[in-house]
C-alpha cells in the first residue's frame, strides 16, 4: 500500500482545497497520471500519481481543505502491506533554559548572569573586559562592555569581591541567562550550598546594565499598562542586588536619590529610604506584544551570496514587522513654503555658532512639532488594544531617526517641550553623533513618544514613514526645494519643505492628522509664532 500525502512544495503552501478529482476508488492509475487538481493560495496544482496501482481510498472530497501532511489517496501498488498509520506529529522542541552548573574547582559565592533587561535584548557580544580573574572589584565597578543590538552596555559589578571566573572571552557571544562572572564576596557561602547567591535569570527585566538609566521595576517597550497619569519618567541607576532589595522592601527605587558613582542607588540608600516608611505601589509590568511570523521559504538555488545580518538589523527587522502587523496606518502629505524660516535661521545662525551650536532646520521642525503635540495630545500617546485604552503621555520625548553604518537608530530628546530651539539643536547633534559612534545608551532610545524621520537628508522629497510602535504617529521630512509658488496673483520662486504624517488609524482619524499637519505648517511658515506659542 502506498499512502500518498499532500506535500510541502517549498513555496510556503500550507494547505489547499480539492477542486476536481480525476479518479475514484477502484480506478487503475499509472505513475504520472493526474489524480486531482488542488487549489492553493498560489497556483492550481495537478497532483500526479507517484506509482502504478489501484485507488483504494480518497482522502478528501471536492470542496474540502487538505493540509500539508494529510493523505491525498491510498494506492494498492501490488507490494502488499497494511494501510500505513498516520505518523504522530513530532512535539515542538522545548526551548532550552540557560542554566549553568558551578565549575568544579571554582569557589564562588555569586553567579552574576546576563539578564533580560526587558527591551528585546536576547544576547550580546563581549567587547572589552575591564578586569581579569583574581582582580578585586567594588560594587558598581564596570566589569565589561557588551555590544547588544541597541547599545554598547557597561555592566557593573553587583557586589564587592574577587573575580574567580570569567564567563565569556572578548569577541564571544553571551546570551541572556549565561554567566558574566563568578565572584567571591567573602561571605563563605559558596555556590552549591543552600545560601549561595545566584542571580535569577527571570528577574522581571532586572538590568545588569548599571550605567544605563534602566529600572527593573519598570522597563517597558511601551507605556500601555501604566496608569493614565505618569508623574515621572526618571529611571534609577542600580545593580540587580539593589533592585531586588527595593522589591523586597516594597519601595520604588526611582524615587531614591543615589549616593554611589554617577548617582547609582546603593543598598544602603534603599535601606535608609525604607526606614523612613515611604512605600509606593510597584508599577505593573508591561505585557509583551508578540507577532507570529511565518517561516521564511527563500530559494537558495543558482548564483547567490548569503550574508548574515547584523544585530542592529535584526532589531530593525523585528520592530518593522511588529509595527506593520499591528498598526493600520494612513499617511497624509503636504508641503510648506519656508522662506521666512530660512531668513530667521540665517539671522540666528551667528548667535548659535557663538555658543558652539550648529543651528539646523531640524531644530525648528522639532520645536514646531513639540508645540503641535501639546495642542493635539492624541499624537503623544499609545494605544492599549487589549484594554481599549489610550495612554496619554504627560511628557514629550521626541525621537529622530539617525542613519548609521549599522542601520537606523532612533534616540529621543527627553522632555523636549522644556527646551529652546538652540537647546534642541544641541541635543539633536549630540545624540546623532553618539548614535553614529555606537555610544548611545539604552536610556537614550527608550520611552520615546513621537518620532521625526528625515528622508530629505538623502535627497528624497516624500515617503511613507513607518510608525515607531508603540507610538501612534511619525512625521517624515523631505528635502527643501525651490519651485514656482503663487503669492497673491503672482508666481514667484519659493523654498518648499515636503511633509508626510503617518498615523495609527485605530485612534487618529484623517481629519485630525490633517489638522496636526496644518498646525506644523503654520508654525514653520510663520516661525515667529513659535515664540508666541
- Sorted by where each begins, the domain ranges of the chain are 2-76, 110-183, 327-531
* Adjacency order of strands within the sheet including 152-156: 152-156, 142-147, 123-129, 173-175
CA 385 and chain centroid, separation: 18
> With 90 as the cut, is the pLDDT of residue 277 above it?
no
More confident residue, 345 or 82: 345
Grid cell digits, residue 372? 503641535
CATH 3.30.559.10 fits 327-531, yes or no: yes
Average pLDDT over residues 413-434: 96
Distances (CA, A) of 469 to 414, 438, 440, 446: 18, 22, 20, 12
Contact 138, 159 (CB under 8 A): no
CA of 84: how far to CAs of 6, 216, 343, in Å? 15, 55, 83
- Whether 2-76 and 110-183 share one fold: the answer is yes
> Comparing 77-81, 84-88, 469-473, which segment has the lowest mean pLDDT?
84-88
Least Cα distance to 380 among 399, 363, 362 occurs for 399
Alpha helices (runs of H) in 155-202, residue ranges in sequence order: none
What does the block give as the cell for 486? 503663487
Q: CB burial class (10 A; 0-12, 13-18, 19+) of residue 127?
A: middle
Task: Say whether 505 is catalytic.
Answer: yes
Q: Which segment of 32-46, 87-101, 104-118, 337-351 scores lowest on mean pLDDT?
A: 87-101
More confident residue, 395 or 215: 395
pTM given for the model: 0.56
- CATH code of the region 110-183: 2.40.50.100
Burial 332-344 (b: 16+ CB within 10 A, else e): bbbbbbbbebbeb
Among 497, 494, 487, 353, which Cα is nearest to 425's? 353
What is the separation of C-alpha 169 from the centre of its chain, rounded to a whole number of angstroms? Answer: 27
Pick the catalytic residue from 22, 189, 314, 505: 505
Please give the CATH architecture assigned to the domain spanning 2-76: Beta Barrel (2.40)
**Would you say 190 and 106 are in contact if contact means Cβ atoms under 8 Å apart?**
no
Residue 381 has pLDDT above 80, yes or no: yes
C-alpha cell at 96: 532550552
Query: What is the SS3 assignment for 146?
Result: strand
317: Cα within 13 Å, side-chain hemisphere: 10
- Burial class of residue 486, CB neighbours in 10 A (0-12, 13-18, 19+): exposed
List helix spans (H) across 355-485. Answer: 361-375, 421-436, 442-445
The string of pLDDT tens digits covering residues 306-347 is: 888 876 788 888 889 999 999 999 999 999 999 999 999 999
Q: Look at residues 515, 499, 513 and name the one whose alpha carbon lies nearest to residue 335.
A: 499
Amino acid at each position: 500500500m502506498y499512502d500518498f500525502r499532500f506535500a510541502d512544495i517549498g513555496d510556503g503552501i500550507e494547505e489547499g482545497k480539492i477542486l476536481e478529482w480525476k479518479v475514484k476508488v477502484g480506478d487503475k492509475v499509472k505513475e504520472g497520471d493526474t489524480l486531482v487538481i488542488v487549489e492553493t493560495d498560489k497556483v492550481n496544482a495537478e497532483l500526479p500519481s507517484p506509482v502504478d496501482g489501484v485507488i483504494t481510498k480518497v482522502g478528501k472530497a471536492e470542496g474540502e481543505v487538505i493540509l500539508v501532511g494529510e493523505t491525498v489517496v491510498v494506492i494498492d501498488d501490488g507490494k502488499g502491506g497494511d494501510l500505513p498509520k498516520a505518523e504522530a506529529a513530532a512535539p515542538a522542541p522545548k526551548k532550552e533554559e540557560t542554566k549553568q552548573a558551578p565549575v568544579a574547582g571554582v569557589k564562588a559565592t555569586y553567579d552574576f548572569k546576563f539578564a533580560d533587561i526587558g527591551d528585546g535584548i536576547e544576547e550580546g557580544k563581549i567587547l572589552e573586559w575591564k578586569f581579569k580573574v583574581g582582580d578585586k572589584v567594588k560594587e558598581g565597578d564596570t566589569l565589561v562592555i557588551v555590544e547588544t543590538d541597541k547599545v554598547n552596555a557597561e555592566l557593573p559589578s553587583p557586589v564587592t569581591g574577587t573575580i574567580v571566573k570569567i564567563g565569556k572571552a572578548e569577541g564571544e557571544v553571551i546570551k541572556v541567562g549565561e554567566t558574566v562572572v563568578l565572584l567571591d564576596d567573602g561571605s563563605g557561602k559558596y555556590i552549591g550550598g543552600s545560601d549561595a547567591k545566584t542571580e535569577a535569570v527571570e528577574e522581571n527585566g532586572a538590568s545588569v546594565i548599571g550605567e544605563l538609566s534602566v529600572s527593573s521595576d519598570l522597563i517597558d517597550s511601551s507605556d500601555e499598562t501604566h496608569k493614565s497619569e505618569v508623574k515621572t519618567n526618571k529611571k534609577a541607576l542600580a545593580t540587580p542586588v539593589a533592585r531586588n532589595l527595593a522589591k523586597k522592601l516594597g519601595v520604588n527605587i526611582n524615587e531614591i536619590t543615589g549616593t554611589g558613582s554617577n548617582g547609582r542607588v546603593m543598598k544602603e540608600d534603599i535601606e535608609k529610604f525604607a526606614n523612613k516608611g515611604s512605600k509606593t505601589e510597584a508599577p505593573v509590568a508591561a505585557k509583551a506584544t508578540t507577532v507570529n511570523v511565518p517561516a521564511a521559504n527563500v530559494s537558495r538555488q543558482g548564483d547567490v551570496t548569503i550574508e548574515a545580518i547584523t544585530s542592529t538589523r535584526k532589531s530593525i527587522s523585528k520592530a518593522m514587522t511588529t509595527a506593520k502587523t499591528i498598526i493600520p496606518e494612513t499617511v497624509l502629505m503636504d508641503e510648506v513654503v519656508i522662506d521666512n524660516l530660512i531668513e530667521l535661521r540665517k539671522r540666528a545662525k551667528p548667535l548659535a555658532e557663538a555658543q558652539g551650536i550648529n543651528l539646523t532646520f531640524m531644530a525648528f521642525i522639532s520645536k514646531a512639532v513639540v508645540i503641535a503635540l501639546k495642542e493635539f495630545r492624541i499624537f503623544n500617546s499609545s494605544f492599549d488594544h487589549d484594554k481599549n485604552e489610550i495612554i496619554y503621555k504627560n511628557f514629550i520625548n521626541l525621537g529622530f531617526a539617525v542613519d548609521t553604518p549599522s542601520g537606523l537608530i532612533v534616540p529621543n530628546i527627553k522632555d523636549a517641550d522644556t527646551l529652546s530651539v538652540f537647546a534642541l539643536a544641541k541635543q539633536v547633534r549630540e545624540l546623532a553623533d553618539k548614535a553614529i559612534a555606537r555610544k548611545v545608551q539604552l536610556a537614550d532610545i527608550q520611552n520615546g513618544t513621537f518620532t521625526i524621520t528625515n528622508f530629505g537628508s538623502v535627497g528624497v522629497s516624500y515617503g511613507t514613514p513607518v510608525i515607531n510602535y508603540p507610538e501612534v504617529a511619525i512625521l517624515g521630512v523631505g528635502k527643501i526645494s525651490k519651485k514656482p509658488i503663487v503669492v497673491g496673483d503672482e508666481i514667484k520662486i519659493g523654498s518648499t519643505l515636503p511633509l508626510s504624517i503617518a498615523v495609527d488609524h485605530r485612534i487618529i482619524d484623517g481629519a485630525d492628522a490633517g489638522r496636526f499637519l496644518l498646525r506644523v505648517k503654520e508654525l514653520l511658515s510663520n516661525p515667529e509664532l513659535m515664540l508666541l506659542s
